[in-house]
Amino acid sequence: MTPFEVRPHERRALGWSLLYVFAVLSAYYVLRPIRDEMGVHGGVENLPWLFTGTLLGMLAINPLFAALVRRMPRERFIAWSYRFFAGNLALFLIVFHLADPAQDVWLGRAFFIWLSVFNLFVVSVFWALMVDVFDAEQGKRLFGFLAAGATVGAIAGSTLTASLVHQVAPTNLFIASILLLEVAVFAARKLSFRNQTGAQNPIGGGVLAGISHTLRSPYLLGVCLFIVLFTVTSTFLYFQQATIARDYFADRGSRTAFFAQVDLLVNVLTLAVQLFFTAHILRKLGVALTLGILPLFTLLGFAALAAAPVIAVVVAFQVLRRAANFALARPTRELLFTVLSREDKYKAKSFIDTVVYRAGDQVGSWSYLLLSSFGLGIAGVAVAAVPLSAAWLAISLWLGRRQAKMAPAEQF
């Protein structure tokens, strides 16, 4: 049995989708190591405030996106959104070149917030289009393949930054991301043109429909809880990695290279799983059990970290956990949205993927700071994360079973 079953009528749509996600993830991963280094340079103790700024940014941009979705067909609101971010990036490039060292620290903090908004938003828009173009049955076969395309893009972006960061100013790499965003716009246009179902019609509905629909749906509230528990545990691990990088690497170039190398390890491992195991696991285990793999792994990982709080375990846990997320949890999580209405696929999904996601970051970052103020180190925080991981596992299994019940009605 081949890892992916692609039917003849799906090939063109899948090809444009792969180019789209490759460009988006490449654009982000060129910038991610630069952002992480700027966050450390601005002070690890200030990271909770940067996460607060990110949440405020998400709250500001979400209604604007909902207004575009209400009035424009999907091809146009995707193009407007991505070109808006490309314009922001060009402005950052100019301002960084004009800034003095004192201004550079504050610009780095602003860029950290901006990229944290950019990342979730542009990826959420991609997956919203995917769950609009492909149904739940197709998603089980094809989303692992799309996730592999995302990983190849992430590897390309990480490799570019790791290779050039010592030869050119990191901010000059912004140009590559700007060009890649334009490739994403081109691919999205081609995909919308070839998949005309609802493509030329605005989604309609209210600007705040994403929020109101989420609050009224137990299923969507369950997705919110899944996201919050995922982000809280992710933030705990991210802060520990940032602290280690600050303590072990003296200069900014070495820290940027370290973050890029970690990203590269994550993406190489992720790609191997996506190419050979993701689709097979989804077909064999179904949504519920596949969705439960990451929280189960996280529970075990934090238990190991509590027993052996050393740098090797932190890095290994981070690499393995992120690979499990990208290879298994992310494509499976997207299947949860295939059973929703078109309006909810764009509006409720965008609200959950951006605002709720960053609200989880807030809970995680300030909780980490609170636990640290009580004198808890890596082991203590890991112990606190174990019951959270258990709760996350329970909600994952519940969501998977609900999705399985809702999917057949959606497909006929």
Q: List pLDDT tens digits, range 80-114.
A: 889 999 999 999 989 888 888 778 788 888 888 88
Instruction: Say which residue the tokens 């596992």 belong to.
Output: 393
Provide CB contacts within 8 A for 43, sequence distance 6+.
Answer: none
- pLDDT at residue 196 is higher than 70: no
Lowest mean pLDDT among 142-146, 197-201, 347-351: 197-201
For 3, the 3-state DSSP assignment is coil
- pLDDT at residue 4 is higher than 70: no
**What's 150-194 look like in SS3?**
HHHHHHHHHHHHHHHCCCCCHHHHHHHHHHHHHHHHHHHHHHHHH
Q: List pLDDT tens digits, range 51-83.
A: 788 788 877 877 777 777 777 777 788 888 899
192-196, 286-290, 376-380 — most confident range? 286-290
- pLDDT at residue 204 is higher than 60: no
Distance (Å, whole) CA 9 – CA 14: 9
Instruction: Find the mean pLDDT for residues 210-219.
Output: 89
DSSP state of 44: G
Q: Is the Cβ–Cβ distance between 156 and 65 less than 8 Å?
A: no
- Give the gyration radius of the chain's Cα atoms: 20
Around 276, how many Cα atoms within 13 Å sit in the side-chain half-sphere? 6
The pLDDT of residue 198? 53
- pLDDT at residue 410 is higher than 50: no
Q: Is the Cβ–Cβ distance between 267 and 161 less than 8 Å?
A: no
| Higher-scoring residue by pLDDT: 318, 220 | 220
Q: Is the Cβ–Cβ distance between 191 and 17 less than 8 Å?
A: yes
Q: List pLDDT tens digits, range 224-252.
A: 999 999 999 998 888 877 777 777 777 76
The pLDDT of residue 1? 42
DSSP state of 391: H
341, 331, 189, 78: CA torsion to nearest 10: 70
Distance (Å, whole) CA 98 – CA 100: 7
The pLDDT of residue 211? 84
- pLDDT at residue 412 is higher than 70: no
> And the tokens for 20?
């789209």
Q: List pLDDT tens digits, range 9-35.
A: 788 888 999 999 999 999 998 888 787
Neighbours of 18 (CB within 10 A): 19
DSSP state of 42: T
The pLDDT of residue 408? 60
- pLDDT at residue 3 is higher than 60: no
Q: List pLDDT tens digits, range 378-398.
A: 788 889 999 999 999 999 999
Q: Tell me the percentage of the chain whose pLDDT exceeds 70.
A: 91
The pLDDT of residue 411? 41
Neighbours of 1 (CB within 10 A): 7
The pLDDT of residue 50? 78
- pLDDT at residue 272 is higher than 90: no
Mean of the per-residue pLDDT values of the chain: 83
| Higher-scoring residue by pLDDT: 381, 409 | 381
| Higher-scoring residue by pLDDT: 140, 297 | 297
396, 401, 404, 405: CA torsion to nearest 10: -140
- pLDDT at residue 181 is higher than 70: yes
The pLDDT of residue 201? 60
Query: 74 vs 80, 124, 348, 361, 396, CA distance in Å?
Result: 10, 13, 15, 29, 30
Instruction: Find the mean pLDDT for residues 253-260.
Output: 72
The pLDDT of residue 219? 95
The pLDDT of residue 202? 60
